[in-house]
Amino acid sequence: MRIGFASDHAGFVLKERLRAFAVGLGHDVVDFGTDGTASVDYPDFAHRAAVARQEWDRLVLVCGSGIGVSMAANRHAGIRCALVTSPEHAELARRHNDANAIALGQRLTDPLQAEYYLKIFLATPFEGGRHEGRVKKIETSSV
């Protein structure tokens, strides 16, 4: 599987750790930045990764809380990014919501837990069935 990664400065350390973890699991990775801890704007990197949808199968976004990058990514058609704060979130995001992206907060998530969440997210299939119609309703041009 090809995994995209992006972060701002506040998520850089965790992004790098998770990127190495994904490689260790045998995945290909693509990094959309940032490349250090100098202050940057999280939407720039979330948008860069989201518009490059054809380059990844799943996407991991990291900022200080995970909230900002998830909000920015979800502005893009075809992106279903879940803010993950527990193993259950990681599993249900995939199983019920067919999430193709997760957001994590470096300031709020233990690095070992983040690795566990990522492993669950990558291994869990979409259940389909009754959830398919609901997921299709997420994509809408107007409400």
CATH number of the domain encompassing residue 49:
3.40.1400.10
Annotated catalytic residue: which of 27, 89, 96, 131?
A: 96
Angle between helix 87-95 and 111-123 (nearest 10)? 20
Q: Angle at CA 3, nearest 5°, toward 104 and 106?
A: 20
Between strands 101-105 and 58-63, the pairing is parallel
Residue 112 one-letter amino acid: L
Query: Is position 28 within any domain?
Result: yes
Q: Whole domain around residue 77: which residue ranges?
A: 2-135
Which runs of E-coded beta strand occur in 33-142?
A: 58-63, 81-83, 101-105
**Residue 96 is a catalytic residue:** yes
Residue 143 has pLDDT above 50, yes or no: no
> Domain tally for the chain?
1
Query: Is position 110 within any domain?
Result: yes
Query: Is position 103 within any domain?
Result: yes
Query: Is position 34 within any domain?
Result: yes
Query: Is position 141 within any domain?
Result: no
Mean pLDDT of the chain, nearest integer? 96
Query: Is position 140 within any domain?
Result: no
Query: Is position 142 within any domain?
Result: no
Lowest mean pLDDT segment, chosen from 46-50, 88-92, 135-139: 135-139
Q: pLDDT grade, residue 139 (50/70/90)?
A: confident
Annotated catalytic residue: which of 9, 47, 63, 81?
A: 63
Residue 142 has pLDDT above 80, yes or no: no
Burial class (CB in 10 A: 0-12, 13-18, 19+), 49: buried
Query: Is position 60 within any domain?
Result: yes
88-107 mean pLDDT = 98
